[in-house]
Amino acid sequence: MKIIDRIQSGLTLSFEVFPPKSDKPLEPLLDTLEQLYTLRPDFISCTYGAMGSNKGRNLEVVASIQSSGKCEALSHYTCGGNSRQDGLDALADYQSVGVENLLALRGDFPAGVTHTNGDFLHANELIAFIRSQTNAFSLAAACYPEKHLLAESMDADIDALLKKQDAGADFLMTQLCYSVENYLRFLDRARKRGVKLPIVAGVLPLIKKDGLVRMTLSNGCSIPAEVSALVGRYGESEESFREAGHAFTVSLVRRLIKEGANGIHLYTLNRFEDVADLVYDTGIREKPQTNR
């Protein structure tokens, strides 16, 4: 099933996992996926290595998700290092395992790299290429509530978003954003400029102080005062920070839903426990009753 059809019928819940490297076993992730399925996600996405060469076991992971019959698989696919022929081969591979949903990205540049070293320079070119070849896929694209770290301005980044929309993207998935105010400002500006696509909000659960600092800084995202206060107050105790971060994330997800997000996409980082509590405490899914 195409994810855009699910989005059009109501709020979606989804998770993101990353594949093990090619020489590492798949089983630990398969175990986590089994646990994640119990939360009844609409889809689970699997990342794709930055420059294509380190895509790891991406295809096996999405094949496994799709064949589980528990939810849709969404594969990330990047311009990085990929030629047109690589793109055609990848589309054939994804179709051969029943995957109907792709997130088309430029891809992160590793340190020192300034070019995709492939046939596509930007995500809109990749989206247009896929659309010119087949209608077999629902296509997602990335968006940045606090603008992409390389974009000169929010307006320049929204220009890029309009190009992805014109190229044929079906929906957008956001970068993490801990500031609902910045998210709403972006939403208002993007809608006024003509971005009409549904938006699935990406949420990185606040679990560890180090993870928060690393992910926000490397992605050019802000740390709102409310979150800095949590670091100041609870940063010395892992357990207290986790509890306070959980409460913050529950409230963030509830606000994003209230403000009309079309879906909540949790960056689960191949974990289950904290994610399950979050899903139940936000009310997106009801906790199953246990038999005594």
> Which positions lie near ligand FAD, rule CB under 6 A?
47-48, 50, 76, 78, 103, 105-108, 122-124, 142, 148, 150-151, 156-157, 160, 163, 173, 175, 202
Rounded to a whole number of angstroms, the minimum distance from the CB of residue 65 to ligand FAD is 15
Backbone angles phi, psi at 140, to 5 degrees: -105, 160
Residue placing its CB nearer to ligand FAD in the complex, 241 or 267: 267
Could you say which DSSP state residue 291 is in?
Answer: P
Q: How far is the CB of 94 from ligand FAD (least distance, A)?
A: 14
At its nearest, how many Å lie between ligand FAD and the CB of residue 290?
34
Listed in sequence order, the DSSP H helices in 193-284 are: 209-218, 225-234, 238-258, 273-282
Q: How far is the CB of 15 from ligand FAD (least distance, A)?
A: 12
Q: Please, which residue, 178 or 241, has the CB nearer to ligand FAD?
A: 178
Q: Closest Cα partner for 119 from 76, 86, 141?
A: 86
Identify the H or E element spanning 272: none
CA angle 177, 181, 185 (to 5 degrees): 95
97 Cβ neighbours under 8 A, 6+ residues apart: 59, 62, 63, 66, 67
Compare residues 107 and 205 and give the one whose CB is closer to ligand FAD.
107
Q: Which residues contact 206 (CB under 8 A, 6 or more apart)?
A: 178, 212, 227, 230, 244, 245, 246, 248, 249
Nearer Cβ to ligand FAD (65/230): 65
Instruction: Give the nearest distance from C-beta 166 to ligand FAD in angstroms.
Output: 10
| CB-nearer residue toward ligand FAD: 142 or 206 | 142
In whole angstroms, give the CA distance from residue 51 to residue 78.
Answer: 7
117 in Cβ contact with 59 (< 8 Å): no
Pick between residue 230 and residue 263 the one whose CB is nearest to ligand FAD.
Answer: 263
Q: Kindly state the smallest distance separating residue 165's Cβ from ligand FAD, in Å.
A: 11
